[in-house]
Amino acid sequence: MRVSPTALDGVLLIEPKVFGDERGFFFESFNAREFAEATGIDCRFVQDNHSKSAQNVLRGLHYQVGKPQGKLVRVVQGEVFDVAVDLRKSAKTFGQWAGVRLSAENKKQLWIPEGFAHGFLVLSETAEFLYKTTDYYDPASERCLRWDDPAVGVAWPLPAGGPLLSAKDRLGLDLAACEKFS
């Protein structure tokens, strides 16, 4: 696997070795030993999540405060613009964001450690999104950073009519008001 840093300390772009021929392809989407060796991160994943969303759906920017989650994310059908926002007050990159295109075609993955908000915008007709988490989902710990907070300034590749948001995501808080990590 090839691991590349992003503009945010700790957020990593992971490109697995893909073996393909006229029959199709094969790759290890996760191998704990190789992940730890390549990233220096020895974590334990406890939950896998799978979502399917329609084009122009924007999910996020989500995080958990009481039970923060590290996430390893990837797309198995379609394409998304995936975003992480640094909510660690002590970090040099606090309040900054990084975004990458993840798709079934490019097979790239993004590692988002604890202390970051995360979201994605579906660019294709539909997208199926998979992610592993280092802690369980805890509704009482869940928070939402406003997806369009001008203080963060994520440059989403938005459709003309804007994104499709859940009621919960419409209520996201600005960076100044949201809970943060130390």
Residues annotated as catalytic are 62, 131
- Pair of tokens at residue 158: 């938005």
What is the residue whose two structure tokens read 């998304």? 80
Phi first, then psi, for residue 52 (nearest 5°) are: -125, 135
**Beta strands per DSSP E along the chain:** 2-5, 12-15, 19-21, 24-26, 47-54, 58-64, 71-77, 79-86, 97-103, 109-112, 116-122, 126-133, 142-144
